[in-house]
Amino acid sequence: MAPRPYSSIMTLAIRTTLAIFVFAGGAYAQQTPAWTEPFPPFHIAGNLYYVGSKGLANYLIATPQGHILINSDLEANVPLIRASVEKLGFRFGDVKILLISHAHWDHDAASASILRATGAKYMVMEGDVPVVESGGKADFQYGADASARYPSAKVDRVLHDGDEVKLGDAVLVAHLTPGHTKGCTTWTMKVREAGKTEDVVIVGSPNVNPGYKLVDNPLYPEIASDYERTFRVLKSLPCDIFLGAHGGYFNMEGKYARFKELGAAAFVDPDGYRKFVAEKEKEFRAELTRQRGVPR
């Protein structure tokens, strides 16, 4: 890259500072363009399909008795999700169960709208129930931020760690992986592909967001030990096919490029999964150490 004149470096520096300021200053629910950018739907393995956008992951588990959809995303994503489901040859109206990765607007803001459109049952992990039922107001971090709110949705079944969600021949297991939200959920299932059974892990989120208070947090006193639990759980899960709430977790675009030759094998990545979990745990521990070191 050619060297930039001083003035443009300054402009860039000011812009970057402003962007960080806005981000940290409360307008957290700003969108990333990739969140609403369409992505081709595709068959991952067994009865599992990708029906998300470039930046927000949605999964369809299709059965003859109806379908399970993971994540509702933003309102703007609903037409994209519907189009993806239909492009794969399924009916959006056959979605019988709606699940989420965790109760943040980028994964659950359109739940009320999808529940209305499909008549699906909403099943949510206990710790996230007050958040989804209050449209984001009960969130420990963003509850006071109007830009992080969305239409509230009634939960039909409250899930607990280890609960199974069954529909037709599909069985998903809900693993409580809290910290990022109180009910953050990592979904696992088994798929049969080319005569083999593969373990699928759909990571909820192990991220410590900017501004998260890991020490002496009156709104979430057990946040640090919850993250500890999350890393214990994630490390214990058998994983062949590595997926998550955002495509960025598992390099979806890179893997999709190889998907055309390799098929489902492109998403088999146990090493990538272990590396991702180890990296996120390192980030969490560094942040915890930093916050513990700050004199109070």
Name the residue nearer to Zn ion (CB basis): 104 or 182.
Answer: 104
Write down the least CB distance from residue 156 to Zn ion, Å: 23
Do residues 73 and 109 lie in contact, with contact meaning Cβ atoms separated by under 8 Å?
yes
Nearer to Zn ion, 177 or 205 (CB): 205
What is the nearest approach in angstroms of Zn ion to the Cβ of residue 230? 13
Nearer to Zn ion, 47 or 185 (CB): 185
Which distant-in-sequence residues (6+ apart) come within 8 Å of 111 by Cβ? 72, 98, 100, 122, 132, 151, 153
Site string for Zn ion, 35-74 (x = CB under 5 A): ----------------------------------------
Nearest residue (CB) to Zn ion, 66 versus 206:
206
The enclosing H or E element of 209 equals none
Please give the Cα distance from 108 to 132 (Å, whole number).
7
Question: What are the b/e assignments for 184-210, b being 16+ CB within 10 Å?
Answer: bbbbbbbbebeeeebbbbbbbbbbbee
**Among 64-72, 109-117, 120-128, 200-208, which window interacts with Zn ion (CB under 5 A)?**
200-208
Residue of closest CB approach to Zn ion? 104
Backbone angles phi, psi at 111, to 5 degrees: -60, -50
Give the binding range for Zn ion (CB under 5 A) out of 28-36, 67-75, 103-111, 252-260: 103-111
Q: Is 158 exposed, middle or buried (0-12, 13-18, 19+ CB in 10 A)?
A: middle
**Least distance to Zn ion from the beta carbon of 107, Å?**
7
Total interface residues for Zn ion by CB under 5 A:
2
Stretch that binds Zn ion, among 39-47, 98-106, 186-194, 219-227 (CB under 5 A): 98-106
Dmax of the chain from CA atoms? 63
Stretch that binds Zn ion, among 20-28, 116-124, 148-156, 198-206 (CB under 5 A): 198-206
Reported as half-sphere exposure (CB side, CA atoms, 13 A), residue 93 has a value of 0
Structure tokens given for 61: 């588990």
User: Residue 133 CB: number of other CB atoms within 10 A?
Assistant: 16
What's the 3-state SS for 105-155? HHHHCCHHHHHHHHCCEEEEEHHHHHHHHCCCCCCCCCCCCHHHCCCCCCC
Q: Which is nearer to Zn ion, 186 or 205 (CB)?
A: 205
Task: Report helix, strand or coil for 27.
Answer: coil
Beta carbon of residue 2, minimum distance to Zn ion (angstroms, whole number): 38
According to the binding rule CB under 5 A, does residue 182 interact with Zn ion?
A: no
**Cβ at position 180, least distance to Zn ion in Å:** 6
Residues 205-224, interacting with Zn ion (CB under 5 A): 205
Q: Give whichever of 118 and 207 is closer to Zn ion, judged by the CB atom.
A: 207
CB of 73 or CB of 281, closer to Zn ion: 73
CA dist 32 and 149 (Å) reads 17
Among 104, 175, 246, 280, binds Zn ion (CB under 5 A): 104
Residues that bind Zn ion (CB under 5 A): 104, 205
